[in-house]
Structure 1
Amino acid sequence: MQAAVIDAYRQPHPTLKQVPRPQIRPNDVLVRIVAASINPIDLKTKDGGLKMLLKYDLPLIMGSDFAGTITAVGSAVHDFAVGDAVFGRVQKDRIGTFAEYLAVDQGDIARKLRNLSFEEAAALPLVGLTSYQALHDIMALQPGQKVLIQGGSGGIGTIAIQLAKHLGAYVATTTSPANFDLVKSLGADLIIDYHTTNFADVLTDYDAVFDTRGGQTLADAFQIIKPGGQVVSIAGLPNARFGKAYGVAWWKRLAFGWVTRQLTRLEKQHHATYTFLFMQPSGAQLTQLAQLVEAGSVTPVIDRVVPFSLINQALDYSHAGQAVGKIILKIAESEAD
């Protein structure tokens, strides 16, 4: 099969090459991939930015989420069958969706809805699960609470705004003026032009912040949080509390605690809680997200669909950080949507 492979960290681009099809385990299904989406974590992985949390053997096939059709099932698989259209986000130690075939655990997939194209389904897993786990599982947003979602026009932001509105929250977001109409259509109540306005100067008394930027933007988030509020970040640094929960070595927990000491001070100063989110795959949660899509509460936003052969152009576009919604790789033609 054809796959996008890196042979070393910081390799400028992956190489499209022929590799063996993956072998399935008893709990696996083999999927013929129709579409896959590009995410910032793919670029971080390529550049070795996750080595403190994840150690991969090289060469490595890139890619984290996908949609496609099952072509084979393991001996312990009973809920899925050959021919089922599915979508999912693989476990972090089994990435490799930028390929024509993928072996994935049955617990990490869900059935694709008939009213969703494969491209739309591939746009959902990582951003949908990340948003769901941030807003529902960690923040436990309640109707009437106020949340700031950074980067409302990005892949995460476009889903997170819709999910927060489904949960009944008041949503503020940051984006460029060119995307004001989009984020408003998704449900944003207050829109801030990050080019001209620091959100910390105009927002106050918020229950939660969903940070997708890190750095000073993350530090500023604590200024708008009410006592007892929460800051959840996918772009900040993991702290010692995360390291303990994730089960990393003691010396890594010490290192995490040291590099996040400023965030720990901000937590105490503002009586808030900081959580670093490292999303976990879940077929059950994907099924819940699919139901929200079917009900019209959530709609995937796609910036562009790019042929697999042009993957390096797509990765460069993702790296530029200007995509509105998701960038999708078209791996193969679907036999039927």
Structure 2
Amino acid sequence: MKEKFRNIFWFFGIFAIVVMLFTFDMDYQELLQNLRKAGIWFPAVILLWVFIYLLNALSWYIIIRDGKHAKVPFWKVYKLTISGFALNYATPVGLMGGEPYRIMELTPYVGGSKATSSVILYVMMHIFSHFCFWLASVFLYLAVEPLNAGMAIVLAVVGFCCLVAIYFFMKGYRNGMAVRTLKLLGHLPFVRKWARRFLTEKRETLERVDNQIAELHKQRKSTFYASLGLEFSARIVGCLEVWFILNILTSDVSFLACILIMAFTSLFANLFFFSPMQLGAREGGFALATGGLAIPSAFGIYTGLITRVRELIWIVIGVLLMKVGNGVNKDKEHE
């Protein structure tokens, strides 16, 4: 990637961090007291994400490698994974900064078409694993929690929506989605002209991307399911964060309950995808989820607070990593 483009992403990340710091809805003295209360569990939460991002990076690396020797080193994929998520967390609507950044950084190693297809495939896998996680949590709730009429309706709606989403994702994996997505955008206001022009100019490249997407599911199922398994595992490991934080406040909480809390919170927060860092939605989701499992809602608010601070720290790390290790040998570059 040219340094001027990298600097645009970098300055955007710095700007987002400054805005978040000045809009943090808590007195910093009170925040410091809460972090002291967390004790050793707070560093544990921070370090846990070293492993979670490792699983995310492995999932993407498997797609890039494609059963062959990868032209991009794993440490580079790991770095881009952290920085890409940092940009996404800081961006309203999400997936608006991290994905273009990853594509532009990966292009010199594998070429534009491969970089684009691998990033699209990974984003699809990342979102797909969300729906798999939510659907699995529906069955987990049925197995471990008492059921009333209201919750039965909620679970039925969530389960149905997840099944529909999984069906369309599998259809997209079989046939590709790049061309279909641009055709859909071609009917929407504001982006209609851009989408139609982009589809006309880049149709050959987009069709090549779709072929690569379809090929992963049809011919390399082991790669497909290994990548999905790693992403799903990252979701389960991420539930340890909730367990760590709640153990600051009480020892009367199970890991299965933490899975349910995380599932409901992530579902609730994703309904407010248009908010940078899902401000407010995450805390509200934790409060509702813990309250629904007979855990004091105040515990959920505290969990949301610690999670927010952890997120901010990793955003800073991701933005700083954007300026590290950016050298690429000229003989590896693709135009």
TM-score normalized by the length of structure 1:
0.28
Higher relative contact order (CA 8 A, sep 6+): 2
More strand by share: 1
Bigger helix fraction: 2
Q: TM-score, normalised by structure 2?
A: 0.28
